[in-house]
Amino acid sequence: MRLDGMDDLRAIGQVARLSGLSVPTVRFYSDAGLVPVAARTAGGHRLYDRDALHRLELIRTLRELGVDLATVARVLASEHTVAEVADREAVALERQIHDLRVRQAVLRYAAARGTDADGLVRAGRLARLTGEQRRALVAGLVAEATAGLELEPGFAARLRSLLPEPPDDPERIGAWVELAHLVSDPDFRSAVRRSLERHAADRAAGADGGNPGGWQRAEEAVVELAGGALSDGLSPASAEARPIADRLVAVFAEAHRRHDDEEFRAWLAERIRIGADARVARYLRLLAVINGAPVRTDSVPAARWFLAALESSGRRRLPVTPAVGG
């Protein structure tokens, strides 16, 4: 708004129109001592000068930005600078926006899953957990799943490092709520425990002499080879699938420092059957989303293709029993 040529005094109706406020509002601010009356007409009507119009515009702007009237008064009295108030209000607004987005995330989570009243209450409770409480919840799963087990040190260290960071971005709250539900599921916790028990048993029996680096390379090979075959629509029971299965068995044999024989293939099939749990893959994906880490390709579909190919290959290796009396 241009104020050039506004040196003359103005009536309350004029300053109200120029400031975008109503006459009662201008009168209220004036009566509160925020906008002094410069003079009065012979009939007692209020007159305001250029400074009053400036103050009215500042009051309006601050109020529209959510600043309370007491703070506005302190700004006008030069007790606080505009910059100080702006910084404080911006921080408060960020908290409000964060809280609103958390609410939105919980509501979206509940709506997408058809959550009932109890589920909504639980989702809200989980969303309100602090970062430390979130980490403790997941750490509890890891502690329970690994208690008393002799795991490969590097593997155990990686498990214990897979904890959620406090998500600064409320968009990740939905992922956290889903992960927390998963972690609290007794069936999921039992499945994780069974998988680690098998790992410890294999390690104790000398059936697994590998290391996490070799296992990861083998998993990547499954995603590349078996995943590629799956994408191409290749049946795991087909003759073309057998060389792929054999190649992957060789990769796993090297990773686990074993020989490719029937015993190893049976052992590997059982390991894949236990490990190809979609819930575990979902857990790792959610954890990556929460922590802002790159999300790895879901290896479960490829692993299941490999398992089917491995089992089909095993069936083809079985000797044919001659028919009696044939």
| Spatial CB neighbours of 288, under 8 Å, sequence gap ≥ 6 | 294, 295, 296
Taking the CA of residue 180 as centre, how many other CA atoms within 13 Å lie in the half-sphere pointing to its CB?
A: 26
Q: What distances in angstroms separate CA 164 from CA 22, 125, 133, 173, 185, one per listed residue?
A: 52, 17, 10, 11, 17
Phi/psi of residue 48, nearest 5 degrees:
-125, 150
d(CA 90, CA 7): 35
d(CA 224, CA 230): 10
What are the pLDDT digits (tens) for 164-195? 876 667 678 888 888 888 888 899 899 888 88
What are the pLDDT digits (tens) for 97-147? 878 888 888 888 888 888 888 888 888 888 888 888 888 888 898 899 889
Whole-model pTM: value is 0.60
